Copies of this chain bind each other. A is one copy, B any other.
Amino acid sequence: MNPAPCGRDQKRWRAGVLGATGIVGQRLVHLLSHHPWFELTEVAASERSAGRPYAEAVRWHVDAPLPPEAGDLVVKHLEPSLDCDFVFSALDSGVAGHVETEFARADYPVVSNCKNHRMEPDVPLLVPEVNAAHLDALVEQKRRRGWDAGFIVTNPNCSTAGLVLALKPLADAFGLEQVFVVTLQAVSGAGYSGVASLDILGNVVPFISGEEEKMETEPRKLLGAWDGAKFVDAGVRVSAQCTRVPVQDGHLECVSVKLRKKASPADVREALRSFEVSAELASLPTALRHPVVVLDEHDRPQPRRDLNAGNGMAAVVGRVRECHLLDVKFTLLSHNLVRGAAGAALLNAELLAARGWLNADRRPAQREAPLPTEVVSKN
């Protein structure tokens, strides 16, 4: 764990969580309970929960106990009058769109896990290890929308998150042209009541609403560039097929890639294994220095056994081998609730904090915060 960026004088940013009772929201509450930079000061949720103590309102699904300080917070309404420096949004997509906009307009930085704003032309779809430079789009976002201190940053869909992490080193090393992917996704990806047991016990459901579309479009933005005025798509073409399997947590993906430059499975394995983040990223509390973990066992990764590699923040890759149609195929696992949701948003917030984006107006002391420079050995 890294200390807070120097100059902050041990004072922590105050964070709110919108949609705190949901399965991603509570994971954020859990991760924030022992975070070195952020302090959870507000939880907000739908009408049904508002006004009740969080401990009562939430049906807790995290393995660790509910943090008592969080349990005592009173759940607030989804209105931009929260006492915090920025908010995480883990809202249902039905309301996320306008609620996030309202908060941003009211000067709250919004770090969102929701799909609503992801593909907008001035909203960063951010995975720090992949496209930290996209944060520059925030200047344009504020300008266009006339927002002051507020803005919206998003992280990708849970099954895209792990995928782009494994694709990035390949795109860098060899160029990336085509991606075939079939997912075997865990039930927690659909939220608490998202998958009825009668549908999934001893069964597979070969359809997840909207998922294939997200997987086919989000990587193009993520692996592309911000040219100062707009996002330029990466040229990669993706074909995705998504299924739901009777697994609690952890999305498994069978991937095949066509590369621009010829590469053997050994080359690919090496490129993945040696992928290392910048010193700036390595200094973020939630970041891994090597976010792609490569396994050599012939039957791994497996959801139940490899879920928590890198504290749930790693993309775990195995079975790297030749593909008869494209170039190389492999199996990929990532934790859908951590790497694919709560951990992703948290890492985004950390990068924003490190770069001085977190609510300059409300926290003037923060405005001059220099970038953290020390690099702590991790992972």
Residues of A within 8 A of B (CB): 23, 61, 63, 178, 180, 182, 184, 187-188, 192-193, 195-207, 216, 237-239, 241, 243, 245-248, 252, 254, 256, 298-305, 308, 318-319, 323-326, 329, 331
Q: A184-B243, A206-B299 are in contact. Are A196 and B198 (CB under 8 A)?
A: no
Cross-chain contact B252 with A207 (CB below 8 angstroms): no
**Complex formed: what's the CA distance from A304 to B247 in Å?**
13
**Most central of A192, A241, A303 by chain B CB within 10 Å:** A241
**Beyond A188-B198, A204-B245, A206-B254, 19 extra complex contacts between A and B, CB < 8 Å:** A63-B305, A182-B254, A187-B197, A196-B196, A197-B246, A200-B201, A201-B201, A201-B202, A202-B246, A203-B302, A203-B304, A204-B252, A204-B303, A206-B300, A206-B302, A237-B325, A239-B326, A241-B331, A243-B252
Bound: A220/B247 CA distance, A: 34
Chain B residue nearest to A329 in the complex (CB): B241
Q: 27 A-B contacts, Cβ less than 8 Å apart?
A: A23-B198, A61-B198, A63-B305, A63-B308, A184-B245, A187-B197, A187-B198, A192-B196, A192-B198, A193-B193, A195-B198, A196-B197, A200-B201, A201-B246, A201-B247, A202-B303, A202-B304, A203-B304, A204-B247, A205-B299, A206-B301, A206-B318, A237-B324, A239-B329, A241-B254, A241-B256, A248-B304
A23 to B329, CA, bound (A): 32
With both chains docked as a complex, state the minimum distance between the C-beta of A71 and any C-beta of chain B, in angstroms: 14
Q: Residue among A180, A198, A305, A318 with the most chain B CB within 10 A?
A: A198
B residues near A325, Cβ cutoff 8 Å: 178, 180, 237-239
